[in-house]
């Protein structure tokens, strides 16, 4: 999970809309009646699963894991893996740079 990344699924169930004047103009040019309003959209099973997972009542934070890490820190047994942190930082930076260079 990347820090600050938020996924927005609010517009998944809404079909795209077309400009009504553009549709009428296209229909006149073709000599046909105006097409029906709306466009058929198919949502993949993966997107449906993500939407369901997002709307579930499960908390965003695993409190058992938080409490375990807190206890390890308090006991002085928590071990930080700097190589793993560096790898994640580099991967996140590379991902961000690849998105901005397009």
Task: Write phi, then psi, for 93 (nearest 5 degrees).
Answer: -65, -40
The answer to whether residue 59 scores a pLDDT higher than 60 is yes
The answer to whether residue 40 scores a pLDDT higher than 80 is yes
Q: How confident is the model at residue 102 (pLDDT cuts 50, 70, 90)?
A: low
**pLDDT more than 70, % of the chain:** 61
Alpha helices in 1-102, H assignment, sequence order: 20-30, 45-55, 63-75, 82-100
The answer to whether residue 79 scores a pLDDT higher than 70 is yes
The answer to whether residue 8 scores a pLDDT higher than 70 is no
The answer to whether residue 53 scores a pLDDT higher than 90 is no
Q: What is the mean pLDDT of residues 34-47?
A: 80
Q: How confident is the model at residue 1 (pLDDT cuts 50, 70, 90)?
A: very low
pLDDT for position 7: 60
Torsion from C-alpha of 17, 21, 27, 30, nearest 10 degrees = -120
Q: What is the mean pLDDT of residues 20-28?
A: 56
């Amino acid at each position: 999970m990347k820090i600050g990344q938020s996924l927005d699924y609010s517009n998944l169930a809404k079909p795209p809309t077309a400009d009504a004047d553009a549709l009428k103009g296209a229909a006149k040019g073709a000599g046909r009646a105006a097409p029906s309003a709306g466009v058929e959209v198919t949502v993949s099973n993966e997107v449906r699963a993500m939407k369901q997972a997002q709307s579930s009542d499960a908390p965003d934070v695993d409190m058992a894991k938080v409490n375990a890490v807190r206890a390890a820190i308090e006991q002085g047994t928590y071990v930080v893996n700097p190589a793993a942190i560096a790898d994640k930082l580099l991967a996140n930076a590379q991902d961000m740079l690849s998105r901005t260079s397009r």
